[in-house]
Amino acid sequence: MQIRELSVPDSYEVTPKQFGDDRGVFLEWYRFDKLSEVVGHPLDLRQANTSVSSRGVVRGIHFADIPPGQAKYVTATHGAIIDFIVDIRVGSPTFGQWDSVLLDDVDRKAVYLAEGLGHAFVALTDKATVSYLVSSTYSAGAEHGINPLDEQVGLVFPSSAGELLLSPKDTDAPSLAEAAASGLLPTWDAARAYYDSLNERN
């Protein structure tokens, strides 16, 4: 397993080693100890989610209040998506910037993003199936979104996704600037303090 930090601090691309033969393929898609070595603490798993999306579906940009926030470990078990990690932490040196990773059922990569980061993806295939391991259970009052079409963020959706399909919840979400002005976004300092508290527990 190889783990590489992305251009957004506190997010990582995970590439598993696959073992294939005439029966199929075996791999470890998650190792708490390997992830803990680079993050500084293990993922405190509290919930596991799965979504199935048609080609062109966009989900996100989603995030949760800190504390406790919601760290995510995401992989595509069927089909393909482009996964986006967006730095929405006010005061971060990379605030408003994003990185992306192709997650599919060929390379079977995963991404990890820490609490306080924004997350979105676009499905490149029909029945794109995405599994998420998350560090906190869903809490409606603590969950928020930013419009994934916000020009300030500038996510780039490949033409292979076809016509984009978004939920009303996501299209009605505020822009990054609006969310920042309303005090909705997490701060860099609060995020770092929370990460330090998790590392001290380890």
Active site residues: 62, 132
d(Cα 183, Cα 138) in Å, to the nearest integer?
21
- Strands (DSSP E) contained in the chain are 2-5, 11-15, 18-21, 24-27, 47-53, 58-64, 72-78, 80-86, 98-104, 110-113, 118-123, 128-134, 143-145
Secondary structure letter of residue 143 according to DSSP: E
d(Cα 184, Cα 193) in Å, to the nearest integer?
18
d(Cα 195, Cα 185) in Å, to the nearest integer?
17
Return all residues near 24 (Cβ < 8 A) that are at least 6 apart.
none
Q: Which residues pair with 99 in a beta bridge?
A: 85
Let me know if 2 is exposed, middle or buried by CB neighbors in 10 A (0-12, 13-18, 19+).
Answer: exposed
Question: Is the CA virtual torsion 46, 9, 145, 125 positive or negative?
Answer: negative
